[in-house]
Chains A and B, each alone.
Chain A
């Protein structure tokens, strides 16, 4: 997959990596059980501090997105995360709150915001279906 680090986004680099992995897992670009690149080659490719990548992977593992098998590497975990549903809900609520604040900043009214959300859900579902069909 294509990794991109944007230094202008204001988000810490490790968080960008975490988000990209999570987005890939959610959109189906990376399947469950697929291997992530190991820390050193990824750090070299992105020309980013090795510790940053290590921190990102640790974060992903603590969030339950990936699992590390010693001797083999890091793999995407299947969507049935061991985290309890409430925790997952809580994480999602955090993200939703952030988006609402953004919308407010960008002066998008509530009604338009909701219709946008519905549109985006539809589109991502469509993309996942397309990916599944390819395989």
Chain B
């Protein structure tokens, strides 16, 4: 796409920033959905996670792309051989990056401002106001500034966009966190207020960003363009790495095809192993801090580390191997090997998934268990599994992994796959929310199905609800698995082709989005239909029929139950309801409200408003002995016309 910008140099800088910028703005915009998902806390936590993750991660990606694009496209030699000073290039890049970040923030501010004029405003602004206080906003602001300032250094140092992204985010977080920990440790035994902790973190990050900004500029000015073999993240390995004990198993042998393939996949995932070791180091550091200052409650640090680390690991696990192979030019060669492509796909999925599960989820959980046995981890929602934290983490990680896997088949390199995954998670969240919305407020589409099942199988509503609640629990999983299978099939098709096309990406994501909406709609509808089973047709028919029968003879009100023979129902209810009730016994009991007969004023009032003292409760006793009672409604006074059923 062509941006209508005159200056070709500015256009060339801005073009690769467009999609990450859009993703960031969309992630921030999801804030609007917050009131729509107000009910379930878990989902709201998820949404806020996606918003924060997408917004701040997107900004970091934006910063990394602005410097790393040259590495990606290998145009560094061409750019640096032009008669333009490096200082100018640096200034230009920093200016445009800052402009893009400010534009994103401005759009968010506008969004919130626009919202304040609409009806959706109240809840959103309230929630914003109550969640974020001044220090937190300052911290967020400094975080953004630090991202912009330090991304240049890290992208140049690591030589790739993904490396720059990961290092930028982790290092500035680590910097702020360490400062806060040291501060809280130094001011023991009294734990300082949260606000001042955040202030300290912000100050530390500010200093850190200034230092790294200067370092980054120097690095750019003295950058050397080494040969292209150093630009791939995974390609370089120190000489003689095979001699490290234990790594021998990773060296490919001549005879074994399947193990070699697995070995190759594991080796391509090298950055994840590196990330895992960084995580381990940070964890150990936090444990040390907690041990040295036992009075400080820093259990939340472990949560923070895990919630940042796990999704990133899963995203990388999904996107890395195929993306790197495409960058290195090996993807097509792999397809020409005499090894079934379907098997390659399955093996890749299995290996990367296992690594993701092991390192992304298994490692943090193991660490939590080990640490929990040794330290007091109150306050850590992982350790105590508050709000289903573990489940939420596992879901988010799993979805990220599968989406990244799907994305890497559709686009040409790791960075694009990461961007597509982030945008995809957001779109997926929107689709699910919309599906739930439609399901909750629309017609109960599944009601006839449930009714038919009930009638055919002659089940009581209790049985329906019993089975239904079990089904509910698993329905979500089954549906999600179906959508995942659709996605995997699409990915497999693109994997075969090995030449990504944007049109296919759009078409497949459209299909996947529709499937997600449909599935969430279906699930919500199922739950709702089940809940409102009592309002469905058979019950309505039964009520009408019983009302007609009962009003005839109101004398035995308050006395024993009247059993209704089947013949009496024939003609009054539909054949399906009749067959449903064939083995069941229908009875009703008429009740009389005493106030009508004892209190003349009440009875006059009641007569004026047409209220009836009589009502009946219907009962169905099924073959297996279960009894189901449901209110039938009011019965009209004798002689008065039937009021329409409510």
**A–B in direct contact per CB < 8 Å:** no
Residues on B lying within 8 angstroms of A by beta carbon are none
